[in-house]
Chains A and B, each alone.
Chain A
Amino acid sequence: MSKVLQITLGIITSIGGFLEIGSVITAAQAGAGFGYKLLWAILLGTLCLVFLVEMSGRLAAVSKHTIVEATRARFGFPFFFIVTIGMGIVAFLVLIAELGGIGLALQILTGIGFPWWAVPVSIVVWLLMWKGSFSLIENGASLLGLVTISFVVAAFKLHPDWSSAAHGLVPSLPGDDKAKYWFVAVSILGASISPYLMYFYSSGAVEDEWDETYIPINRVIAGIGMTFGGFLSMAVLVGAALFFYPKGIQIDKFEQASLLMTSALPKWGFFLFALSMLFACLGAALEISLAIAYFFAQGFGWNWSEDMNPSRDARFAFTYTIIILLAAVPLLLGIDPVKVTVISMALTSATLPLAIVPFLFLMNDPVYLGDHRNGWLSNTVVSVVILISFVLAIISIPLEFLGS
């Protein structure tokens, strides 16, 4: 495949695969609760993600190792095990949320409650991983995810006041509801900076056999793809700010969020929302299941290629099978995926240092990156944003739970 085609495909899949239940719900809550005021959180989170994804690709291209492989080799098993447990638990919660998102999308389309969808959805997701190849999953789900561009169309059709919106890009202090403001900000950061995306991206780069010649391509894909993805999140926030905020409607349940595009796109808005959530969450569920399985497989040294038949990477296949089965259980019990989403996004923020600090060490290690180590800009941006996310998370999560 020519390099231009690869870049194009990489950007398209980054955009199509960007939104998932976390980014949509947190952006919708932000817009509904605070108008444009939290746009800065999406900006900050996306900026950090651009750098992190670029770094993930560069590590894979130069060292031919995934982040997980390099983490264990560099830091030893005991530390690696701690990271695995931390990341694994949070990622598992996000997986529950995504599977729930697919179920909720089906619920609003059919009227059949999401717990009934838990088992069928898990089976479909599992089957796609069992029989599918890496390209099918990565590209297929992301191409379907392009339907999320409808959020941008809807936002434009509502005629936002662009200068007011632009003010939201600058961090500002909240008026009322301070605890909730910072909590939603933290959730947005956790939704934007998804570690599982990094692990998935670096595994894909190794699976596609990237080498140093891919470094410029990687930069373009990460830069443009993630940036446009960030615009999608912002479009959800803007849409919510125009549709829900003036009417004092808070987004506590999926059913409320579903109305988002019904005035901007009267004929199709409702269905586009449902389809967007369906495909976005499907893609995310596949990615997260793989990311968790990669963690175990790469960390313990098992075969892990997604292109292999399951009988040839048995432990890897066994891992993702168990994970998906277990993730369906809370949904069967009727636990609200939106609640799980909000909690898991906040927890992601709180546990970011666990994933990112070792990663930064790797990115500055000549053994793995040679001449392609991080420059001061990458190190600074990522460190600052992670620090902000962590501090905000530590403060706002207890406050939010004490308040409610």
Chain B
Amino acid sequence: MDSILSWIGTAGMTGEAWLRHTTPDKYSAQTLQLSSETILQISTELLKSPPPSVDSSALDSTITRTRQHIAEMARLVQAKNSPAFARQLDSLRADQKIVKQFSDSIEAAQ
């Protein structure tokens, strides 16, 4: 779970950096893409043997939604659409909080 949060955080930081015009487009899009793919890999592994203390289908759908936000952000970078990007980033942040809650409850149960 920590890895998933790490990559969601990465996507968030990449997003913020791009919005502030501190990073090039290609790099930002590729890193967002990488984040999304890595989260998919990790979550697929994780959900093979889901932790008992959480509703795994809810977790799965949250993570899927998160990945979709990130993938959308990658597309918006190439379209250079900052306002839409910023909205996606906000949604991402919201999802991040939810995933964090999942993570906390898993840890608490261990």
Interface residues of A (CB under 8 A from B): 108-111, 247-250, 252-253, 255-256, 258-259, 262-263, 266-267, 269-270
Contact = CB atoms under 8 A, between A and B. Distances in A.
Given A249-B6, A262-B17, A111 B30 contact: yes
Contact of B13 (A109, A110, A247, A252): A247
B108 to A, nearest CB: 14
Interface string B93-110: 000000000000000000
A270 B23 contact: yes
Contacts of B12: 247
A259 B30 contact: no
Given A248-B5, A249-B9, A259-B14, A108 B22 contact: no
Q: 6 tightest A-B contacts by CB?
A: A111-B26, A249-B9, A250-B6, A262-B17, A247-B9, A262-B22
A258 B2 contact: no
A250 B42 CA distance: 14
Contacts, number: 58
Given A109-B27, A253-B38, 20 more contacts: A109-B24, A111-B27, A247-B12, A247-B13, A248-B2, A248-B9, A249-B9, A249-B10, A255-B10, A255-B30, A255-B34, A256-B31, A258-B27, A259-B14, A262-B22, A263-B17, A270-B17, A270-B23, A270-B24, A270-B27
A248 B20 contact: no
B13 A259 contact: yes
Nearest to B17: A262
B3 interface: yes
Contacts of A109: 24, 27
Contacts of A256: 10, 31
B28 to A, nearest CB: 10
B97 to A, nearest CB: 12
A86 to B, nearest CB: 34
A270 B26 contact: no
Nearest to A274: B27
Nearest to A261: B22
B22 A110 contact: no
Contacts of B38: 253
A258 B23 CA distance: 10
A108 B2 CA distance: 25
B13 A249 contact: yes
Q: Which of B6, B12, B14, B20 has the most CB of A within 10 A?
A: B6
Contacts of A267: 22
A263 B16 CA distance: 9
A123 B73 CA distance: 37
B98 to A, nearest CB: 15
Q: Which of B10, B17, B38 has the most CB of A within 10 A?
A: B10
Contacts of B26: 110-111
B17 A259 contact: yes
A259 B34 contact: no
A250 B31 contact: no
A262 B12 CA distance: 13
B31 A248 contact: no
Contacts of B10: 249, 255-256, 259
Contacts of A111: 24, 26-27, 30
Nearest to B5: A248
B13 A250 contact: no
A270 B18 CA distance: 11
A166 B96 CA distance: 32
B50 to A, nearest CB: 20
Q: Which of A247, A252, A258 has the most CB of B within 10 A?
A: A247
Contact of A266 (B9, B13, B22): B22
Contacts of A269: 22
A373 B95 CA distance: 64
Contact of B27 (A247, A250, A253, A255): A255
A280 B14 CA distance: 24
Nearest to B18: A262
Given A247-B13, A259-B14, A266 B20 contact: yes
Contacts of A110: 26
Nearest to B27: A108
A258 B31 CA distance: 10
